[in-house]
Copies of this chain bind each other. A is one copy, B any other.
């Protein structure tokens, strides 16, 4: 990413050509696997990027909330809310309105939540049963997928299939294990639903760190999100290379001394995410020896063992977790060869409900 002159910092830059290459590469990967690509839009939250993903062959979009679905319904008529929603009357009314604009599928991982959903939306949305493939967050044991599916069907909901998030891919060297777990669990969950007498159209999985290892035939659709931008976590997991990073935060050097540089891009710009295995709070592009030691809200404290950059100069930092960085911004500056060529609104920023 070439940083233009004269930016008002802190800000987020997206290099258009790298973004397009990432979109195309994952589209090819899904095609090679014989799976549909349904990118997770929570990463970018931008209509302009969703449109590019759909133009490159995505079968629809994944979102995490009803509010995100409401935003992306402007450009997409096939939405999967990959989340075990608890639906009350108000959320139900929003889902029914959404279902008039798009095909809507919703995650479910308990009989109770399926019944609450059915009570408020009837059969206007279909459900996909969430199963746990090793991330131990939401999702049932695959042996119980049939039980949840039957409860949903009895409540009157169309059952589309099963999904999992192999989020345990977010640890060094775990991509292949997570992909193998995903394949095994989706297969067992699909069997559990079929054994209960229901069809399974969808076996949905995928994450950026496991995408290279996804087992062909095990998934009918993939839901990676971060791949559009890459980030410091993906760099350290080996699931992208520096040249694949499409988004950086740009900060100005506001203070420096000895081997320390302070940038005006802190946790209110980069996000505070830091897994235990990460080397810092982000990666300084082009300066592999620099380490982002600490973030305050408006300061990044960077250990800089080489010649220090000038006060007032700009430094590009790759955020650890790009989804949270994007959600802190109102807009992304789109660049091409060091020029700002467009500004994209983060249309679904804060769309948490």
Contacts and interface: CB of A to CB of B under 8 A. Distances in A.
Interface of A: 8-11, 42, 64-65, 83-86, 88, 90-91, 109-110, 112-113, 116, 136-140, 167, 252-257, 260, 262, 264, 267-269, 271-274, 294, 296-299, 301, 311-312, 321, 323-324, 327-330, 350, 352-353
Contacts of A254: 83-86, 113, 138
Contacts of A88: 312
B65 A298 contact: yes
Given A116-B312, A136-B301, A311-B112, A8 B255 contact: no
A320 to B, nearest CB: 9
A323 B299 CA distance: 14
Contacts of A328: 327-328, 350
Contacts of A140: 257
A174 to B, nearest CB: 15
A294 B137 contact: yes
Contacts of A330: 350
Main secondary structure of the interface of A (DSSP, over half): loop
Nearest to A276: B276
Contact of A268 (B10, B113, B138, B352): B352
Nearest to A88: B312
Contacts of A109: 255
Given A83-B254, A112-B312, A328-B328, 12 more contacts: A8-B90, A9-B353, A10-B352, A11-B353, A65-B298, A86-B264, A113-B255, A113-B311, A136-B301, A137-B255, A272-B273, A272-B324
26 contacts: A8-B91, A8-B353, A11-B353, A65-B298, A83-B264, A86-B311, A110-B311, A112-B311, A113-B311, A136-B260, A136-B301, A137-B299, A137-B301, A138-B299, A140-B257, A267-B271, A267-B324, A268-B324, A268-B350, A268-B352, A272-B273, A274-B274, A327-B328, A328-B350, A329-B350, A330-B350
A233 B174 CA distance: 32
A131 to B, nearest CB: 12
A221 to B, nearest CB: 20
A167 B65 contact: no
A262 B138 contact: yes
Contacts of A311: 86, 110, 112-113, 116
A64 B167 CA distance: 36
Given A113-B254, A140-B257, A330-B350, A297 B324 contact: yes
A86 B250 CA distance: 14
A122 to B, nearest CB: 19
A8 B353 CA distance: 7
Given A137-B301, A299-B138, A84 B324 contact: no
